[in-house]
Structure formats: structure tokens, C-alpha cells
């Protein structure tokens, strides 16, 4: 191989390396954008923008990206299930506090005991309403049937949120203290999850209405 051939080969090798270095970022970006889970998490992040608490929404739902894919109805149903789990935990916690106060294990004013009892009742109702909502989501049809089922879901999720708010309202006349702070802060957290679930349900309904009205 003469000098000119060696020189040409060396130049071609440099050019190949340069082209490869130029294309690597593009190849990497293309691979990332084609990642189904990455796209699904982006879908969840965008969908959560309709909620009042988008950070809580994304952080609690992004782990379900593989199950959600790009399905708004599935996302709403999972959000409701997450809300239900939070409400059940709250119900268990309030039940434990009520047993402690009733057994004399913790000093509590009559108003506190009454507020705990009412909080348990309202969260028990909220759990039942969310369970019914999730079950109703599994019976979705089309047209009038879809409107009927989704109306039920929206009604029950709204009622669940109202019940959770009633719990904290019941502590308005209770003296400030560790128990009041604990219950109200936990209930407020659950309300955020339920609010997000309802917002995603409403968003799904709006999308379905748009689809049904499209020519």
C-alpha cells in the first residue's frame, strides 16, 4: 500500500469516526423516544396537569406506566384505586384512634371523640363510594350507556371527596392538639389523592364526549 492509499484510508477512517460521533446523540435520542415506558410516563405527566396536585398525581401514578400505556380511562381507574388505598389506610388509622380513646388509652375531650366517630363514618362512606366508582368503570359501554356509567362515577367520586372534607370540618370546634393535627393532616393528604382521581375521571369523560361528537 503506497503513501496515497494509506493517506486516503486514514482520512476515510477519520471521516467515519466524525460521522459516528455526530450521529450518536441522534441515535440515543431516537432510542429514548421509542422507549414505551418513557413515552407512557410522559403521557401520565401531561395528563396530571389537569389536576390540582400534579406532582402528587405524577409521583403516585408514574410507577404504573406499563399498565397505563396511553389509556386515559385506565389512568383514571388506577388513580381511583390509589385514592381508595389511601382512604382505607385513613379509615384504619381513625378506627385505631377511636379504640384508644374509648378504652381510656388516650385522654380526649368529648368533642374530639365525637369528631373521630364522625370522621370514621364519613371515610367509611368515602371508601364505599370509591369502590362503587371503580366497579362502575369496569362496565363502561358506548353512547348513552357510557354517559350513564360515567355520570355515576363522577357523582360517587365527588361524594367521596365531600365526605373526606366533612371529616376535617368536624374538627373545627376541637381544641388544637396532636390528635387533631394528625387526623386533619392525614385527611388532607387523602383528599388530594381523591381530588386528583376525580380530575382524571372528569378529563376522561371530556375526552369521550369529544370523541362521540366528532364527525
pLDDT digits (tens, 9 = 90+) for 3-43: 344 444 444 444 443 433 433 343 333 334 455 567 889 99
Helices (H), the chain: 3-33, 36-47, 54-61, 65-68, 72-102, 110-137, 144-169, 178-213
- Length reported for the chain: 215
Q: 173, 111 in Cβ contact below 8 A? A: yes
Match 388505598 to its residue by C-alpha cell.
85
pLDDT digits (tens, 9 = 90+) for 134-186: 999 887 765 667 888 889 999 999 999 999 999 999 999 898 889 999 999 99
Total-model pTM: 0.79
Amino acid at each position: 500500500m503506497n503513501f496515497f492509499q494509506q493517506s486516503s484510508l486514514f482520512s476515510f477512517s477519520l471521516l467515519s469516526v466524525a460521522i459516528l460521533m455526530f450521529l450518536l446523540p441522534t441515535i440515543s435520542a431516537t432510542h429514548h423516544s421509542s422507549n414505551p415506558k418513557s413515552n407512557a410516563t410522559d403521557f401520565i405527566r401531561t395528563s396530571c396537569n389537569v389536576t390540582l396536585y400534579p406532582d402528587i398525581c405524577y409521583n403516585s401514578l408514574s410507577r404504573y406506566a406499563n399498565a397505563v400505556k396511553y389509556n386515559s380511562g385506565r389512568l383514571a381507574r388506577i388513580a381511583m384505586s390509589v385514592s381508595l388505598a389511601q382512604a382505607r389506610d385513613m379509615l384504619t388509622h381513625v378506627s385505631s384512634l377511636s379504640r384508644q380513646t374509648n378504652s381510656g388509652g388516650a385522654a380526649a375531650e368529648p368533642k374530639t371523640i365525637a369528631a373521630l366517630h364522625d370522621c370514621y363514618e364519613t371515610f367509611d362512606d368515602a371508601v364505599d363510594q370509591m369502590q362503587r366508582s371503580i366497579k362502575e368503570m369496569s362496565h363502561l359501554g358506548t353512547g348513552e350507556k357510557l354517559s350513564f356509567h360515567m355520570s355515576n362515577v363522577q357523582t360517587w367520586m365527588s361524594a367521596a371527596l365531600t365526605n373526606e372534607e366533612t371529616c376535617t370540618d368536624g374538627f373545627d370546634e376541637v381544641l388544637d392538639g396532636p390528635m387533631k393535627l394528625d387526623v386533619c393532616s392525614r385527611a388532607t393528604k387523602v383528599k388530594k389523592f381523591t381530588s386528583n382521581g376525580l380530575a382524571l375521571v372528569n378529563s376522561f369523560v371530556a375526552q369521550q364526549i369529544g370523541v362521540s361528537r366528532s364527525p
